[in-house]
Structure 1
Amino acid sequence: MPLFPTLPIDITGNRMPSAAEHPVRTLLSRRGLLAGAGAGGVAALLAACGSSGPGAHPGSAGAAGATGGRRGGLITLGAPTPPTALDPVTMYDGTAIALVQLVAEYLIWLDQDFQLHPALATGWTSSEGGRTWSFTLRKGVVFSDGTPLDAPTVKASFDRLLDPANKSAALSAFASVLAAGGVAVSGADTVVFHLQRPFSDFPYLVSAGNYNALVLKADYKLGMFAQRPIGTGPFLLDSYDVGKGASFSRNPKYRDTRTPYLDGVKVVFHKDAQADLLALQSGAIDAQILSQADLVVPIAGSGSIAVDKVSGTGLSAFTLRVDRPPFTKKEVRQAIAYALDRPGVLTSVYNGVGVAGNDHLFAPAFAAAPKDLPQRAKDAAKVRSLLSAAGVGNLRFTLSFDPPSKAYALVIQDQLKRVGITVDLDQQTSEAFYGGNQETDTPWLFTDANLVGWAGRPTPGQFIIPMVKSHGAWNGSKYANPVLDAAADAYDAATDPAERRKQAAIIARALHEDVPVIITAWSGAVRAYRSDRVRGLRAHPSAFLDLTTVSRV
């Protein structure tokens, strides 16, 4: 998200954005850590506001979904050892997030189909042209220690996230939208957010899509969650050992008396994805929390292993510096875009899990995504024509990237070679690629051409604002277009779906024409499990873990 609010120091002494603050929060990527999610837009917001029944649990199908499961029993899940502390405020890795989500809850849940569902909030409304948002809390909710949930408690949770001293991984999500001091209460059951600017997608920022936005007790102390794991969620954390795993039991005070179905959950940590996969194949675990498509898709259907797939909004941005030759000429950038075989990228890089991209930042999962923009496809004749028009003969450039993008870099090199374009590969360590001075010389923002893996975001604006708006904090292409800037502001402020689609079309056409970044594919997510043991387990675009309606077979 924009403007690095906190820049931790790595072991080399470089100032680096954290995994939550720079784009590479990689729960959806081949690295197997975490992201945000896609979003459904205003229509989904309005629909969600009406779903306030007591059974509308986050992540489930609502009240109707909470029927028919087998009650009782335990399941065992495997996961990589969490590299970050089990702390809701600062965590940014997939394992820690999934574990905390079993214990603590959000105002709103973001499900696997990009729809918002009431959780601790039953409804929300906006006023002042989208600058003020009011959330009504669900009545009768208590924390696992019996403390009632109220508006001051929710306010304290968001004040904690907005305090720069706490270095929350959520802080960057609120940048330019919500600042410290912007949260108020109105009575015991209404929380009011006063925004810095109109932002019609704000409910997504207080949903699970902003995964640190969990509601905790007012007296929560940073770093103490594993020792004092109190939440309003469906499970209790009974034990946690960072070297081994965790165990959970059903929360008897959970607000939905029908769920969860399971008596408990055991989580076993493994040193790497391969060890986790072997545990699944051998039957040592029943399912994975984080699955890698390249490992599990090939074995789907073997024995009792099933793999659930879901669309997502993660992407790898192939960024071209528009202020440096040869990419100063639009025709050169377009030629590269026409040289790429997008179905081939999707198959070879993403194992077919995802959808084709069209060189703009509106994933098909976003409600406002344009549907009438012709899909760009490989066209060797078009490549030659564009390069000729640009006066470029033998095009050659260097592509910089870090190890998680190696497979994509090799595919780009091979596909461009087939149309006569030479690509020299510059693989750097992740520390070097994201290191250096973030304002002047960090490779991921200042090399001529590079690959950056962006984890999924709740709203398209969270890609557009930092990546392609003029002077955006993460604008590696150095692209500047006043027309796009104005449309981006209008999109964020609009509440009418038709107006949002209109502005989205302006943004998408500009990016598709100017090609400061090439988007060949939007990645999806997978989750593997043993179908002879587990029922109801789903993949999630952000690898979130909802076990409320999961049961033993």
Structure 2
Amino acid sequence: MPENAAHPQRWQDALPHLSRRGLLAAGAGGALATLLAACGSGTHEPAGAPAAKDSGGPVRPGGTLRAGSPPPPTAVDPVTAYDGTSVALIQLVAEYLIWLDKDFKLVPKLATGWKSDARGAAWTFTLRKGVTFSDGTPLDSAAVKATFDRLLDPKNNSSALSVFSTILEPGGVSAPDAATVVFTLKRPFSDFPYLVSAGNYNAVILKKDYAGSFTKKAIGTGPFLLASYDVSRGATLTRNPAYWDAPKPYLDGVDVTFYADEQSDLVALQSGSIDAQLLSQATLVEPLASGGGITVDQVGGTGVTVLTLRVDKAPFDRKEVRQAVAFALDRPAVKASIGAGLGDLGNDHLLAPAFPAAPKDLPQRAQDKAKVARLLAAAGVDKLRFTLTFDPPSKDYAVTIQSQLKAVGITVDLDQRSSSAFYGGDQAKDSPWLFTTANLVGWAGRPVPSQFITPMVKTGAVWNGSKYSNKALDAAADAYDAATTEDERKAQAEIIARALNEDVPIIVSYWSGAVRAYNGRKFRGIEAHPSQFVDFSSVSQV
């Protein structure tokens, strides 16, 4: 599942986001300061907190957590990694300027505060004092600048490059002193802190001289040290005794075992061979939540599988045909069968209900077989038939769509490709996920809607598989990014949502939730995360 020059799905059925409430820094000028202040203060110094108590009781230090996960499909390199296992291993060893909590609150990590100018076009970050990399090198602004210069360099083929597209370009990062980093943007972007947070998972801060080979010499500021790594077997991590947020981590270490398939991972959890899963599948683990010592934590999210329709090719060059497909779907049934009942119904736009700016009064689209017939008749289509292309993770979804559309007289031919083939080819000319007539693409959740809208539906966007173009939507998307009040955001979000809902270049049946399964009799503090992120620094024995 690439996302180098391609792939939107960060990993497996990556499942994300609950709320983008931000602890953005006070001090921004003008109306933007008012907007940021409404989201919370952003000057924080939580370092060195004493051992805390959670809802399960007092912290009990020590012990090794045994976790299971699929083997990484590519090299575990912070600059280019895109799969869930690689990202999880990296997040145990290295850290971001800002973490995203399970409700997608911005939480200070290596940055203690951040503020913007009045326009939201320049952002200044203050670094945490006293932090060192695991080899003893002090964290400073030069390392942070080098990290983002590395991500912005096209030669490095980082997934993060697409995240910064149109917003931050090479040369836009400066380090005026050892504790300060300034990002000068190409255009105002009031959600910029999310782009340098864990929401942009390649943005972990590395040493200035990082040159690859992370699994051979993993140096980070995080709570654990990578002691060993075997691509076919797993990884061993030990506690970082010099971690800046002492007394964390509470665990002595984490042992990760790679399992070739999800069923093997599940059996290992049930048998007690492992204590937790890094990546849990809701449909597999939800039945375990009723007993046997297995705890299944769950959160809402913005992960989504999108049915993309080529608006420039028959039969979907007629809006009525696209609308007919949208009205043919039984969305609650899709959510129940594919999403294990978790998440929210989709309404064929990219403003998930979890986003504060999502419109509240747009009628929810529901299955209407009579309307399907009327729309097809209006388009002059007697019998609709089309091919749906997808890769293995979307197979059940594709079969469900095929079955539901058959019930209203629409024939869907299924075209399954391997993931490498589906996301392969020339991304500018013939990659199946961007150029087939209709396809299913799994997108990991984003903390802000712009990370869906900008690459997916703006005119000429890098991942615009529908080839949709709407100048009013383009203008509203830019205005949304530059908005300095929540009312202004909501107004622009309304324009975007209504345009997509009416034109239907994409169909969103539901927004997924996320789960993480673990042995609740042995460990506490393990949580599901909307983006399947991993933070085991607060995990302890029961």
Band the TM-score falls in, shorter-chain normalisation: over 0.9
1:2-401 pair list within 5 angstroms: 18-29=2-13, 40=20, 46=37, 47=39, 49-50=41-42, 52-55=44-47, 68-127=58-117, 129-223=119-213, 225-401=214-390
SS at match of 1:130: coil
Runs of 5+ consecutive residues of structure 2 not aligned to the other structure: 25-35
1:539 aligns with 2:528: yes
How much identity, in percent, do the aligned residues show?
Answer: 62
Structure 2 Cα separation of the partners of residues 146 and 333 of structure 1? 58
How far is 1:55 from its partner? Answer: 4.2
Structure 2 Cα separation of the partners of residues 161 and 393 of structure 1? 51
Structure 2 Cα separation of the partners of residues 350 and 344 of structure 1? 9
Write the letter of the residue equivalent to 1:385. R
Counterpart residue number, 2:27: none
Write the letter of the residue equivalent to 1:40. R
Write the letter of the residue equivalent to 1:372. D
Counterpart residue number, 2:32: none
Structure 2 Cα separation of the partners of residues 220 and 432 of structure 1? 32
How far is 1:301 from its partner? Answer: 2.2
CA gap 1:470/1:354 in 2 versus in 1, 3 angstroms: same
Q: Is the 8 A contact 1:70 1:551 kept in 2?
A: yes
**RMSD in angstroms over aligned alpha carbons?**
2.4
CA gap 1:169/1:548 in 2 versus in 1, 3 angstroms: same
Superposition TM-score, scaled by structure 2 size: 0.92
SS at match of 2:386: strand
Write the letter of the residue equivalent to 2:96. Y
CA gap 1:426/1:270 in 2 versus in 1, 3 angstroms: closer
How far is 1:198 from its partner? Answer: 1.3
Q: Aligned pairs, how many? A: 530
CA gap 1:63/1:198 in 2 versus in 1, 3 angstroms: farther
How far is 1:51 from its partner? Answer: 5.2
Q: Is the 8 A contact 1:216 1:230 kept in 2?
A: yes
How far is 1:358 from its partner? Answer: 0.7
Structure 1 Cα separation of the partners of residues 496 and 228 of structure 2? 49
Q: Is the 8 A contact 1:151 1:190 kept in 2?
A: yes
Structure 2 Cα separation of the partners of residues 152 and 182 of structure 1? 14
CA gap 1:101/1:143 in 2 versus in 1, 3 angstroms: same
Deviations 1:487-531 (A, max 9, x none): 011011112111111101110011111111110011222111111
Runs of 5+ consecutive residues of structure 1 not aligned to the other structure: 1-16
How far is 1:159 from its partner? Answer: 1.3
Counterpart residue number, 1:487: 476
Q: Is the 8 A contact 2:311 2:317 kept in 1?
A: yes
CA gap 1:332/1:181 in 2 versus in 1, 3 angstroms: same
Structure 1 Cα separation of the partners of residues 201 and 404 of structure 2? 37
Moved more, 38-47 or 365-374: 38-47
CA gap 1:218/1:20 in 2 versus in 1, 3 angstroms: same
How far is 1:37 from its partner? Answer: 5.3
Write the letter of the residue equivalent to 1:279. A
CA gap 1:43/1:546 in 2 versus in 1, 3 angstroms: closer
CA gap 1:289/1:519 in 2 versus in 1, 3 angstroms: same
CA gap 1:423/1:543 in 2 versus in 1, 3 angstroms: same
Structure 1 Cα separation of the partners of residues 233 and 288 of structure 2? 26
1:473 aligns with 2:462: yes
Write the letter of the residue equivalent to 2:42. G
1:412-427 pair list within 5 angstroms: 412-427=401-416
Write the letter of the residue equivalent to 1:348. S
Write the letter of the residue equivalent to 1:159. D
Structure 1 Cα separation of the partners of residues 436 and 521 of structure 2? 50
Superposition TM-score, scaled by structure 1 size: 0.90
